[in-house]
Amino acid sequence: MWRRGRRNARGEEIFWRNCDVLEFWAFLVAGVAMTGDPQMAAGGRPSVFLDSAEAARLRKEIRILPWKRDLYEGTETTSPVWRRVAKPGPDARRWLEKDIVIPARGGHFHHFFCECGNVLTWPKDLQPSPEGYACTACGRVYKGERYDAAVRREMHMALAQGALNLGLAWQVEQDERFARKAAEILRNYAAAYPGPHTGIVEGGIIYQSLCESMWVIPLAAAYDLILDSGALTEKDRTDIEQNLLRPCAKGLMACGTDGNWGSWHLSAVGVVGYAIRDRELISYALRSFRDQMADQLGDDGLWPESVHTYHFFPLQAFLYLAEAARHNGEDLYSLEERPGKGLRAMFRAPLEYAYPDLRLPAINDGWWETWLPGQFYELAWARYRDQAFRWVVEQRAKAAGRLGLWPLLFGEDLPADAPAPPLRSRNFPVLGIAALRGPGGSMLTFDYGPFLGHGQLDKMGVTLHARGKLWAADYGTPGYGSSILPWYTGTASHNTVMVDGSNQERTSERRLTLFAGGPQLEAAVAETEEAYPGVLHRRSIVRAGDGFIIVDELQSGKPRTFDWLFRSEGAMSAVTSGPPAESELVLEHVAVEKSLRVSGRVSLSWRQGEDELRLNLFCDDTADVFLARCPAETAARQVEMIAVRRTGVRARFVAVLTPVSVGEDLRVSMCGDVVRIRRGNVEDVVTLGPALSLEPATDARFSLVRLVSGRPSLGALVQGSVLRWRDQLLIEGPVRGWAQKTIAPEP
């Protein structure tokens, strides 16, 4: 089947067809003549991640800028994923002392985990250990080939990184020993390479073609960095190109361009292509990059898997390719394969997805401890000159320092005075997550979307960040080898409603029926009938100022058990009492500490330092309440949770979440559809539906009247036309999405 292609850099249209991969290869070879040559540097080396002018500038900067010198040879740190982050200078010097021995094929990183969810201890010399490897948390020891292979993989990664660092050290210090040692690594790999990947976990020198891609990129860059050093003979060059780099890249081409693996495959092919100046490889990489931007990046600018890991993971790969291309006259930074779909959008969208402190909500699979990656934003600032990107670099530099390859090569001396960009509430419709932001910096994420790649059974789940702290969290996943993985992917570990004690089904719905509002009042409403077939669940999130009201309405044809689940960071205290519960909450990994039967309101709070998150929950009938502990980001750390159980064919929960200072006077009440939240002399009166009362009267779906000392000071509505308070008309006009009006104080 033939389909229309895209235009290449010269505006010529490229055609290709969907076919099996081997055919595709053959076609590509023919395709080169048709598409014209890709841009490629003709001159000297290096020409992949650096050119000679940039190398000269880098030498100078390392001499005169202390922070840049520190990036090159300062003390080393450990990344959140438990790896030593090698600084090029000391790492290169360490390799100078070592004989280069290439280990056998490496295994799988995610096998190097304890059943408790924590990583095992990497041996210091990265040599397989017959004594085995102890868990970093519980001390349990694991031994055997599965774990040895994971260690060998780590050694392959260290060797590739070592080669790159040696290449950088050669460029910076111009000491030939560095180039010769890098050459030794490349030469030994050319001799030891067992042949390319023939499938995603077949062939190659590392188990996964994904890891093989991550391994070959620094090797290819190292090759480019030392090519003009004299350390490689003509025969070395031929061996390295013919027996290592080209076959490896061709193997990766055979592994496809789907998802984030595809991003790494195509980027590795491109970086190798630029390093060995192979037009076929470059053409393939550029074409595949355009395809991924057009077809695989979401229209909302986010990678449609978990953002905190799988958005930046492909972006990380693309940046290697974009830099290699840029050094060869090809600009991938400004390429927009479709409007709003390109690298710029991939940098921009996460700004509005991140919490105010730039931590990323760990929704879906991926590491819990994840922040906007400052080192990628160094390139975003360098290439786009957008102040918002400079702000990210400065914020992350303040919090975590500057780290990694890109700030070393292209980071600038920054005054740390970029203004914070205005961030607004935003819906990400492809991913199916809405982020609601309050004027005082609170932010709630609402995951109403379908089950996508690396998804979890977390439909309708929320997370909450307020007063500079994360409260209700999604804990992502521990390592994939962890035995409690099902806890993290299941429904019970999320702040949603669980039906009949079982996991949700995977869903394909994106039924966000309302997302509207202004600065002080905002609402998002979504529904699902797929999470639990036969059950309609509507969750409405109403934000009034920096507080949130979560309304759950559940309806079923037959009696069900509905468990409303919520957990938060901080120490929990409950001011709720009642007779013993009539049922039991039995969930694996959940330890119930107290259970009681409550009619009316449930009140409790979680405290962190001088801040508190207060929860006031109103049920439509008597409920069983369970106070419990459950795993946080690992089983070793626990957080305190509440489950509130209602049974029947329908249930309604109204939860009012208010971030406050410890000891602050807060009163929350509910009568019919009117919720009143009073803090000192300020009271927010929120309606959850049209109200015929006097205080207030409205036809709106949701409304807010803010009273100061009993007098209206602000009115706001979502989907309505009129809002009155007693005899005072606050808002009137045609039906609107939302409106907000400040009311002048009475004289």
Which of 390, 464, 480 has its CA nearest to residue 659? Answer: 464
Q: What pairs with residue 617 in β-bridges?
A: 602, 655
> How many separate helices (H) and strands (E) can be counted in the chain?
18, 31
Dihedral over alpha carbons 271, 277, 281, 282 (to 10 degrees): 70
Nearest distance, CB of residue 503 and Zn ion, angstroms: 12
Nearest distance, CB of residue 146 and Zn ion, angstroms: 16
Closest to Zn ion by CB, 309 or 605:
309
Closest to Zn ion by CB, 209 or 456:
456
Closest to Zn ion by CB, 612 or 640:
640
Closest to Zn ion by CB, 115 or 695:
115
Nearest distance, CB of residue 491 and Zn ion, angstroms: 10
Nearest distance, CB of residue 131 and Zn ion, angstroms: 17
Counting Cβ atoms within 10 Å, is residue 679 exposed (0-12), middle (13-18) or buried (19+)? Answer: middle
Contact predicate 647/560, CB 8 Å? yes
Structure tokens at 598: 């409550």
Which of 135, 132, 186 has its CA nearest to residue 159? Answer: 186
Measured CA to CA, the distance from residue 70 to residue 76 in angstroms comes to 9
Q: What pairs with residue 497 in β-bridges?
A: 564
Nearest distance, CB of residue 345 and Zn ion, angstroms: 25
Closest to Zn ion by CB, 323 or 458:
458
104: how many CB neighbours lie within 10 A of its CB?
A: 14
Closest to Zn ion by CB, 88 or 117:
117
Closest to Zn ion by CB, 118 or 296:
118
Measured CA to CA, the distance from residue 35 to residue 747 in angstroms comes to 75
Closest to Zn ion by CB, 564 or 725:
564
Nearest distance, CB of residue 633 and Zn ion, angstroms: 10
- As a 3-state breakdown, the chain gives helix, strand, coil percent values, each rounded to 5, of 30, 30, 40
CA within 13 Å, CB half, 584: 5
Which of 343, 397, 349, 352 has its CA nearest to residue 375? Answer: 397
CA 260 to mean position of chain CA atoms: 13
The residue behind tokens 């044809």 is 557
Nearest distance, CB of residue 303 and Zn ion, angstroms: 17
Counting Cβ atoms within 10 Å, is residue 609 exposed (0-12), middle (13-18) or buried (19+)? Answer: exposed
Closest to Zn ion by CB, 425 or 463:
463
Contact predicate 718/741, CB 8 Å? no
Closest to Zn ion by CB, 161 or 495:
495
User: Could you list the residues that contact Zn ion (CB under 5 A)?
Assistant: 114, 116, 118, 135, 137-138, 456, 458, 474
Nearest distance, CB of residue 315 and Zn ion, angstroms: 21
Q: What pairs with residue 469 in β-bridges?
A: 466
Measured CA to CA, the distance from residue 48 to residue 34 in angstroms comes to 25
Nearest distance, CB of residue 476 and Zn ion, angstroms: 6
Closest to Zn ion by CB, 9 or 137:
137
276: how many CB neighbours lie within 10 A of its CB?
A: 21
Q: What is the DSSP letter of 5?
A: -
Nearest distance, CB of residue 567 and Zn ion, angstroms: 12
Nearest distance, CB of residue 136 and Zn ion, angstroms: 7
